[in-house]
Amino acid sequence: MMRFHTKPHQRWRLAFIAVYFTKILDSLTKKILEKNIPLLGPAIQRSPSYTSIDVQDVHVSDSNGEDDDDHQPQPHLHLPFLNIDQKMLTEMVRDKDYERLCQFGGIKQLLSVLETDEKAGINGADADLLHRRDVFGSNEYRRPPKKAFFRFVLEAFNDTIIIILMGCAILSLGFGIKQHGVGDGWYDGGSIVIAIFLVIIVSSVSNFRQSRQFQKLSSETSDIKVQVVRQGRRQPVSIFQLVVGDIVCLNIGDQVPGDGVLVEGHSLKVDESSMTGESDHVEIHEKDNPFLFSGTKISDGFGTMVVTSVGMNTAWGEMMSSIRRELDEQTPLQARLDKLASSIGKLGLAVALIVLVVLLARYFTGNTVGDDGKKEFNGSKTNMDKVMDSVVRIVSAAVTIVVVAIPEGLPLAVTLTLAYSMKRMMADQAMVRKLSACETMGSATTICTDKTGTLTLNMMKVVEFWLGKEAIEDDTYLGIAPTVLQLLQQAVGLNTTGSVCNLPSASVPEITGSPTEMAILTWAVVDLGMDIDGQKQSCEILHVEAFNSEKKRSGVLVRRASDRAIQTHWKGAAEMILAMCSHYFDKGGLTKVMDDDTRIQFGGIIEDMAAKSLRCIAFAYKQVPRENGQSHESLEETGMTLLGLIGLKDPCRPGVRRAVEECKEAGVKIKMITGDNIFTARAIAMECGILKPDEDLNNAVVEGVTFRNYSDEERMEKIEMIRVMARSSPFDKLLMVQSLKQKGHVVAVTGDGTNDAPALKEADIGLSMGIQGTEVAKESSDIVILDDNFTSVVTVLRWGRCVYNNIQKFIQFQLTVNVAALSINFVAAVSAGDVPLTAVQLLWVNLIMDTLGALALATERPTNDLLKKPPVGRTKPLISNVMWRNLLAQAFYQVAVLLILQFKGMDIFKVDEKVKNTLIFNTFVLCQVFNEFNARHMEKKNVFQGILKNRLFLGIIGFTIVLQVVMVEFLKKFANTERLNWGQWGACIGIAALSWPIAWLVKCIPVSEKQFLTFWKTSV
């Protein structure tokens, strides 16, 4: 803060300066208003509270017009963007108002005002980026408010059974207080209320945490990388770091990251269906429609744009801010589990109704006695309050049976295991976009994979170069004729989507683009001595045909500045380019006719390179007669002259052969689908282990054109044998997926290009590539493989099986509890007229098996043993015969033991009724604790294998035991229990521990493949 001196003459000086400066501001205002300067916004921006003025640098001079020596020139205070109206920019793009853009002076003036260089982009310094965000906003949109924790509590409470139980608890609380006073009367009803709230809170906390985790994953899926030019360098930045004025590089499949105007483009088409709903692709060009909308997708061509609006200033931002994206959609497995839960719930309701009727009948017929040994109901002599209290107690017991019977933990178990697996899969380089893919991947029977970047490293390098019929080695490049060398440099430098940046601070130029483009540009710069900037300055690009997966080539029509000659250049798959050529250059620069024998020789050169696992690319050119080059709308495709052939090496990824073997052991078939020629495809497949040298390859390897020309019968007959498809188009990949699904396969497909989107959507599991994948491919997929590695695909397969296996474990555990609890209460109610397990005790059991059991069993890590089993088919039942064997054995044992305790426990242990009921409760809970260990492995006899790796499981078991001790020993009135001595505790633990040897013996019993219960098969 400035400190003012208090001397009188200094105060007068400050006052004079203030008045003088005010007059200067007033005069500047008049001068600016008198000027007619074409700006994007008013020079003076008024509001009711202030007026902002663009103050220019003032140079003080004396009356003679000469500079005053006493006044040094003041530094220029540069405040950019004060004269830009963001609203006007937004409306210009939104309305596609080309006339307004022309009034502003066109794209050049727009770039000038935004202080953006067409080639070098913005300054990119931290201060510059910060200022642009302050003025124009950041590229983020307001998200809808998150679901509060209280909403989850209400949802958990809003259950019919819970509400009925709560009503019974409140009535019981009221009658208890009326009969026994507040001190002792609150225990029965109050303990039920507390137990209900405990169940609700635990369930709500769990769901709340999973919701927050899903939201975090949702934001991560939205964070895409954008290629921008800053300080002359092309670099990837997060879409959230984009600012107004950025120059963005756009290619096929990219998402437009902000509203903007096209700076330069070739054959650019945009899919605006996400904004306008129109399916037709819109052509974007500089002449009359240069406007690009945020959120739209590039469907063809490439170009650069300048960003004019970001975040909430775009229509996309406004739309997205009103959409709440939830990742907790119901998966197919959850739908099947809902059916299972419904079936069990109906059975439990029937048991509860029988128990209710029997207990009410026994009570009103005088067949029940109270604690004092007298009849509870004695006709009209019985107090009405006692009658109501008994009825409420009976209804509570019946309702609690329904609570235990309904397996509410099943959906929770699915949510927990999906959330847990999604979090872990992120660490294993797989980002889940669609929850159902986690579980479906476990059922995959076939994986259709790309070659480049998935099976290979996608780190390409030119290792062979043929000029004519001669291989050019490192020491023979100097012998290439200058005319041929110049044409090769033009072929590479003008027909590319990559870039070469010569940084002053670096000795080696920075090359960006796709791996193929980077390899070719590196070769041209290092070996051919290409100057890409010089090539672009010496030629004018007239027309571009961007690379696409069907033609497998890209072309460019150029006009040389020196002689105005027009040339066509093509680059692409070697055999495709070779078919277009009628002549070829030799090393000395002579043009020779390509006859049939020569064509066969070149074909042999291509095959030899392909056999070495090299990708073969050819360059061809043609001089276009002036009269034929006027339209500039199409490129010549015949009569070309072959410039040369190059072979690019892309090594296989380390570990990919082992991953392929693991898939084969798991019963999953691998099919490689690639755009490379058949020889390269075969060589790579053998290197990866998809093909073996000693097997018949006639039906195992096909070309895309052959596959699509099969009849439907032929295709269905041969599809099982096909393991490699070469020279395939996106349509061939889609056809492969459709055919495999018709054969009953569960198909996973990898894809990275825009044209792969139909196959990714059609597949049961679409796997897009995180590095090379386009945004269109990612949005069409279910899972994004972040490192583009096939080994990560196998990891996803392992996790998918783990999800399915964990849920089966929990189902086995929960059904055991359900069968035991229903049986013991039903038999005891019908025979003795009372239930040994009270409402509070049953709610505690419900908490153990629903929430804690789900946490313990749903968070097991995947093991390699999962890949030694065949895949789970589409129609295989959720509850297998192995599960029936295990759960029925444990349920029968628990029911038998508990019924013995119910009818003979008092005689065996010489205890009263209350201690007997406590023994039943304690034994029942401990049986579930020991059975959780059995549920860890459904077929393995050693249930303790890997137990120390799952600390959460051990923690939950320990927590459950501690709470059970507290319930029995310290919460007598709350849980309606009596304290047990050491001998009784030992008996409970011993009975429960017998479940381990029983499980070991039961697992020796073989099971049939035929489904055990047809009812359950149809239900789940």
List, by residue number, the catalytic residues.
450
Q: In angstroms, what CA-CA distances link 646 with 352, 498, 612, 791?
A: 78, 18, 13, 30
Q: How far apart are the first and last CA of the chain?
A: 74
C-alpha 387 chain-centroid distance: 59
- Helix, strand, coil: what percent of the chain each, to 5? 50, 15, 30
Phi/psi of residue 154, nearest 5 degrees: -65, -40
- Backbone angles phi and psi of 158, in degrees to 5: -80, 55
Taking alpha carbons only, the member of 232, 218, 215 closest to residue 117 is 232
Exposed, middle or buried by CB within 10 Å (0-12, 13-18, 19+), for 907?
exposed
Q: Residue 465 burial (CB < 10 Å; 0-12/13-18/19+)?
A: buried
Dihedral of CA 281/283/289/292: which sign? positive
Q: For 577, how many CA atoms within 13 A lie in the half-sphere containing its CB?
A: 28
Q: What's the distance, CA 607 to chain centroid?
A: 40
Sequence-distant (≥ 6) Cβ neighbours of residue 584 within 8 angstroms: 468, 591, 592, 594, 598, 602, 641, 642
Q: Please give the DSSP secondary-structure letter assigned to residue 1009.
A: S
- Three-class SS state of 839: helix
Which residues make Cβ contacts (< 8 Å) with residue 1001, sequence separation at least 6?
none
Contact 879, 1020 (CB under 8 A): yes
Are 492 and 525 within 8 A, CB to CB? no
Complete DSSP assignment for 764-810: SEEEEETTT--HHHHHH-SEEETT--HHHHHHHHHHHHHHHHHHHHH
Structure tokens at 521: 């540009």
Q: At what angle do helices 839-847 and 160-185 cross, to 10 degrees?
A: 130
Return d(Cα 844, Cα 50) in angstroms, integer. 67
Q: What is the largest CA-CA distance in the chain?
A: 125
Which distant-in-sequence residues (6+ apart) come within 8 Å of 55 by Cβ? 25, 28, 77
Please report the sign of the dihedral spanned by the C-alpha atoms of residue 460, residue 463, residue 469, residue 472. positive
- List CB contacts of 87: < 8 A, sequence separation 6 or more: none
Number of C-beta neighbours around residue 90 at 10 A: 18
Identity (one letter) of the amino acid at 1001?
Answer: L
The answer to whether the CB of 493 falls within 8 A of the CB of 539 is no
Pairwise CA distance, residues 844 & 821, whole Å: 12
Inter-residue contact 297 to 253 (CB < 8 Å) = yes
CA atoms within 13 A on the CB side of 119: 6
- The residue behind tokens 């055991």 is 816
Q: Both tokens of residue 264?
A: 């330069």
| CA torsion, ordered 770, 773, 775, 779, to nearest 10 deg | -70
d(CA 364, CA 382): 11
Tell me whether residue 693 is exposed, middle or buried, using C-beta atoms within 10 angstroms of its C-beta: 0 to 12, 13 to 18, 19 or more: exposed
Residues in the chain: 1020
